[in-house]
Structure 1
Amino acid sequence: MTKTKYNTETTNWNDSYLLGIPMIDNQHKKFFVILDNLETLNQKQEKSEMHSLINELQNYVIYHFQTEEDLMVKSQSPNIDLHVMEHELFRKKVEEFHHSYYNNNEELLNEMISFMRKWLLIHISGTDAEYADSIKNTLGIE
């Protein structure tokens, strides 16, 4: 079996997902901190804290995707439209998750956290990795 750069067997962050763009890498890591916290609160059934953390996730998705999209435009990265479309689909999924949870569909929580972890890792190792070089060149990162 050939070993690839990215480990798609796990849904946890590891350094194989680093793109070499510190600002973006740190933001990607933050996503997994938020998801870890969601899982912990869900296991403890801390519903009062869940609401604020879900809001934090939703706001962070908007912030991070805007950061990536701005960098892509600045660096004239290829396939920006496709990348933005992927971001929009994920934003909508997070919104669905938000509404479902607020409508007392807590069973959905584990499923959504798992989906978000997998989606983020696939997105980072695929779509994000495709534009990393053009952004590093624009920002002067070696």
Structure 2
Amino acid sequence: MSIIDWMDEQYLLGIVNMDNTHKEFVSLVNQLAAAADTDFATLFDELITHTQAHFLQEEKLMMASNFPAYAEHNDEHARILGELNQFKKRVDKGLIAFGRNYIKERMPDWFALHAATMDSALAMDLKNTGFDVATG
């Protein structure tokens, strides 16, 4: 069961490493939505680890390219990581339903909005300024 359907026309930004990371994120979210309770905590941890690395990758790009909306974008990353970590505490106590509801109810809309606004703006800025993502 997919709760986020990857659609190139909606999610591709044209920055290969960002696009690949987003595809991995969507895959993990979908795995979590369908996971058995016995596998949920492990996959939730994987999502957090992936999301931390994903955000760090974007934050490095923003800093290296002097992205003007760095503070706002970084604040959004911190907010979502904070939410994930709050739900991790519940999941670690065996309250899987709390984590599952968060993933199913929050992640699809959040990802669509974040990709379409903040990440799209970053990708556009990187392209417009000619920033070389490969070499930084």
**TM over 0.5, shorter chain:** yes
Residue 131 of structure 2 aligns with which residue?
Answer: 138
Residue 7 of structure 1 aligns with which residue?
Answer: none
Residue 100 of structure 1 aligns with which residue?
Answer: 90
CA distance in 1, matches of 2:122, 2:7: 20
Gaps of 5+ in 1: 1-9
Instruction: Output aligned runs, 1:72-111, within 5 Å.
Output: 72-111=62-101
Residue 12 of structure 1 aligns with which residue?
Answer: 5
Q: Is the 8 A contact 1:76 1:134 kept in 2?
A: no
Q: Which has the higher contact order (CA 8 A, sep 6+)?
A: 1
Question: Do residues 69 (structure 1) and 69 (structure 2) align?
Answer: no
Q: Which runs of 4+ in 1 moved over 3 A?
A: none
- Sequence identity percentage: 27
Residue 112 of structure 1 aligns with which residue?
Answer: 102
Residue 114 of structure 2 aligns with which residue?
Answer: 123
CA distance in 1, matches of 2:90, 2:7: 30
TM-score, scaled relative to structure 2: 0.85
Residue 58 of structure 1 aligns with which residue?
Answer: 48
User: 1:139 aligns to what SS in structure 2?
Assistant: coil
Deviations 1:116-141 (A, max 9, x none): 22211110101111111222320279
Deviations 1:34-60 (A, max 9, x none): 01111121xxx341x222211111111
User: 1:73 aligns to what SS in structure 2?
Assistant: helix
User: 2:13 aligns to what SS in structure 1?
Assistant: coil
Pairwise CA RMSD: 1.8
